[in-house]
Amino acid sequence: MNPFDAPGEWLKSALHTHSTVSDGTLPPDALVQAYVEAGFDLVAITDHWRLATPALRDDVVLLPGAELGFDMVSPTYPRQSAEFLVYGLDHVPDDPGGNRDNWLVNEVENWEVRTFPSLTVGMDWVASMDAVAYVAHPYWNHLPQVELTSMSGFAGIEVLNGGAQAECGRGDSSPWWDTLLGQGRTAFGIATDDQHYPLYELGLAWTMLRVRERSPEAALEALRTGAAYFSEGPALYEMAVVDGGVEVACSPCRSVLVQAEEEWGTSVNAGRDGRKQGRILQTTGDGLITRALVETPPNLRYRRVTIVDAAGRRAWSNPL
């Protein structure tokens, strides 16, 4: 289902953020208020191994969330583990069954790590609650791609973690995504700010969920089915597979790129010298693209779109 053709509305969603329930700096209710003031429609607080329970309010959708850990099959260094984000859970397990050597409690910074024995075992626990999970920041966690592709049960991965990108340049995990997609796997993406310090991180990136109604259930369904796009700035308005390629309408951008398996991607770029594998159909007065047709080869395994605005900020579609 193409979310751009689906009935309903878009929810600007914060899907990875921390409160004082773990190592964030704002209490849950103040954190929700900060997102509402920043124009968000949905907040999932994802504290480490603890459930934050902000007060319900009618101007924002609240989705229960948490950030949990798992043991890695072949860690690169001692006590290395990785993490996933889970939505729609009703509790956090006291003993998820992983390797105790990987567990730790940091009382000064107020966070802890427990682990499931593997990502797939964690996903079995997620499925038992009918919850939905995305693998968190695989590049930042240094999760080997071969380990990610050997595991199953997750809806997708956190393709862009804005906090990790700002902190150390390891927030963009799109190579992990393309590895899954290139193998023919179904995997969706999200972008987040992984906010701990609102001044530096709140709103660095977000996910737009296409929902039939403003409810946690509808948001979970969008996460489960990939009815979404995600962004660190620009907006996608329309997207369609047409004869010969992909047609995109968007906020003003300098590039519209289509990624596919191996080297089969193509792009259209603004400016006289910009490479154009397709056609620019509409521009702003200063030549930025607002509608384009990107030509693509036939019979691709998957196609996904990335747009880049004049400031270099990107937005990503899920595979069409």
Q: What is the DSSP string of the chain?
A: --TTTSSSEEEEEEEEE--TTTT-SS-HHHHHHHHHHTT-SEEEE--BTS---PPP-TTSEE--EEEEEEE-SS-SSTT-EEEEEEES-S---S-----GGG-EEETTTTEEE-EESSHHHHHHHHHHTT-EEEE--HHHHT--HHHHHT----SEEEEEEHHHHHHHS--B-HHHHHHHHHTT---EEEEE--BSSHHHHTTS-EEEEEESSSSHHHHHHHHHHT-EEEESS--EEEEEEETTEEEEEEEEESEEEEE-STT--EEEE-STTS-BSEEEEEE-TTS-EEEEEEE--SS-S--EEEEE-TTS-EEEEPP-
In this complex, which beta carbon is closest to Zn ion, that of residue 155 or of residue 164? 164
Smallest separation (angstroms) from Zn ion to the CB of 223: 17
Of 194, 201, 247, 309, the residue at the interface with Zn ion (CB under 5 A) is: 194
| Residue with smaller CB distance to Zn ion, 86 or 307 | 86
Residue 250 pairs in a beta bridge with 236
Strands 278-283 and 266-269: unpaired
Shortest reach from residue 67's CB to Zn ion, in Å: 5
How many chain residues interact with Zn ion (CB under 5 A)?
A: 2
Least distance CB 32 / Zn ion (angstroms): 17
Pick 191 or 257: Cβ nearer Zn ion: 191
Asked if residue 201 binds Zn ion (CB under 5 A), the reply is no
Minimal distance in Å, beta carbon 265 to Zn ion? 30
In the complex with Zn ion, the residue whose CB is nearer, 67 or 178, is 67
> Which is nearer to Zn ion, 218 or 223 (by Cβ)?
223
How far apart are CB 46 and Zn ion at their closest, in Å?
Answer: 6
Nearer to Zn ion, 47 or 178 (CB): 47
Answer whether 175's CB lies under 8 Å from 102's CB: no
Q: Which of 66-74, 91-99, 103-111, 263-271 is the region at the interface with Zn ion (rule: CB under 5 A)?
A: 66-74
Which stretch in 5-13, 65-73, 141-149, 239-247 sits in contact with Zn ion by CB under 5 A? 65-73
Pick 14 or 289: Cβ nearer Zn ion: 14
The span of 27-35, 67-75, 140-148, 149-157 binding Zn ion (CB under 5 A) equals: 67-75
With contacts defined by CB under 5 A, name the span among 63-71, 92-100, 227-235, 251-259 that binds Zn ion.
Answer: 63-71
Least CB distance from residue 112 to Zn ion, whole Å? 13
Which one, 34 or 211, has the nearer CB to Zn ion?
A: 34
Stretch that binds Zn ion, among 33-41, 62-70, 202-210, 288-296 (CB under 5 A): 62-70
- Exposed / middle / buried, residue 287 (Cβ in 10 Å: 0-12, 13-18, 19+): middle
Q: How far is the CB of 100 from Zn ion (least distance, A)?
A: 22
Shortest distance, position 195 Cβ to Zn ion, whole Å? 8
Q: CA–CA separation, 88 vs 74, rounded Å?
A: 30
* Residues within the interface to Zn ion (CB under 5 A): 67, 194
